[in-house]
Amino acid sequence: MTMWAFRLLVALLFLLAPVHARAGQRTKEYPVTGMIVSIAPAAKTFTASIQAIPNFMAAMTMPFEVRQASELQGLTPGTVVSFTLVVEPNTSYATRIAVVPYSNTEQDPFSANRLKLLSDIAAGKQGRPAEMVAVGGPVPDFSLVDQKRRPTSLSQFRGKVVVANFIYTTCALPNFCLRLANNFGVLQKRFAAQMGKDLVLLTITFDPTHDTPEVMAQYASQWSANADTWRFLTGPATDVERACRLFGVHAFATEGLMDHSLHTAIIGRDGRLVANIEGNQFTATQLGDVVAATLTALPK
């Protein structure tokens, strides 16, 4: 049995078997952190891919009930939340749900964020850049070149789920770019059956000067990426910058390296932005769980 199936089984057992809560046992509360996979306001539930709860539960994806549908307001897939899981004798529910805001104070993103602010102030911009796509909004088309030098546009994948991340191949900090790209290596295996048919992965460089298609092909070979279904995109600087701006990706050349933000974006079959996950503090499993939900989501 795969790890995921195992986890799902445990989750179901937990939910369906009141035997877990012995009669007479008092209510227990557990702090939980996880990534939203999907929300179902009508059913007053949300599904989250949660980290392990010490001495209670392994990391898994499972649905949680809330008392009021309003508690789900503002929650979108990919959002990291912290909440309290209340376990009573015959029921359980989540409460005090708070979005964990991404304000990465790790050295590199911290500095990139400041440089972005500076550039915006210098260019006279205020607030969120106009070009950045909001969650739920349609993602404009963009065209780049893949690792086999084929012109590749987002629009050619309409009807499939597209997941995109942003890297540069000479990144000095492997727990950033490399981890994001490696997440896709895990997705490529997990969703082997859906790759190309229902799911396409795009890894886009923000250093097109160095990361030519040939360099991207070499980088892609490290994960034995299928060039048709996991495309490594580069292109003219203006085209690359435009694609990056759509997802709030900014990168600054600094002393031979680049300070940059970290983004992984999920685009639904209808071309709308499902999630834009910042940072690297999530597992490939959590990302995959959100992708899985997006794959099975019914059209609105």
Q: CA nearest 270: which of 248, 247, 300, 242? A: 300
| Residue 82 in contact with other proteins, rule: CB under 8 A | no
Residue whose CB is less far from other proteins, 49 or 92: 49
Q: Give the footprint of other proteins on residues 270-299 (CB under 8 A).
A: 283-285
Cβ atoms of 65 and 44 closer than 8 Å: yes
- At residue 198, φ and ψ (nearest 5 deg) are -120, -15
CA distance 209 to 105: 28
For the bound state, the minimum distance from the C-beta of residue 7 to other proteins, rounded and expressed in Å, comes to 11
Task: Choose the binding region for other proteins from 41-49, 173-181, 235-243, 271-279 (rule: CB under 8 A).
Answer: 173-181
Residue whose CB is less far from other proteins, 95 or 113: 113
| Residue 186 in contact with other proteins, rule: CB under 8 A | yes
| Residue 107 in contact with other proteins, rule: CB under 8 A | yes
Give the residue, chosen from 33, 182, 194, 226, that forms a contact with other proteins under the rule CB under 8 A: 182
End-to-end CA distance of the chain: 33
| Residue 122 in contact with other proteins, rule: CB under 8 A | yes
| Residue 170 in contact with other proteins, rule: CB under 8 A | yes
For the bound state, the minimum distance from the C-beta of residue 298 to other proteins, rounded and expressed in Å, comes to 29
| Residue 173 in contact with other proteins, rule: CB under 8 A | yes
Cβ atoms of 255 and 262 closer than 8 Å: no
Task: Choose the binding region for other proteins from 153-161, 251-259, 266-274, 292-300 (rule: CB under 8 A).
Answer: 251-259
Pinpoint the alpha helices (H) of the chain. Answer: 3-16, 107-122, 177-190, 213-221, 237-246, 284-296
| Residue 9 in contact with other proteins, rule: CB under 8 A | no
Q: Which residues pair with 204 in a beta bridge?
A: 166, 233
For the bound state, the minimum distance from the C-beta of residue 133 to other proteins, rounded and expressed in Å, comes to 21
| Residue 172 in contact with other proteins, rule: CB under 8 A | yes
Provide CB contacts within 8 A for 203, sequence distance 6+.
Answer: 164, 165, 166, 167, 181, 184, 216, 220, 230, 231, 232, 233
| Residue 214 in contact with other proteins, rule: CB under 8 A | no
Q: Give the footprint of other proteins on residues 223-242 (CB under 8 A).
A: 223-224
Q: Which residues of 107-128 are buried (b: 16+ CB within 10 A; e: fewer)?
A: ebbeebbebbeeeeeeeeeeee
Q: How many CB atoms lie within 10 A of CB 18?
A: 11
Q: How many CB atoms lie within 10 A of CB 218?
A: 14
Residue whose CB is less far from other proteins, 40 or 99: 99
Instruction: List residues binding other proteins (CB under 8 A).
Output: 2-3, 51-52, 58-59, 103, 105, 107, 110-111, 113-115, 117-119, 121-123, 170, 172-175, 178-179, 181-183, 185-186, 189, 209-210, 222-224, 252-256, 259, 283-285
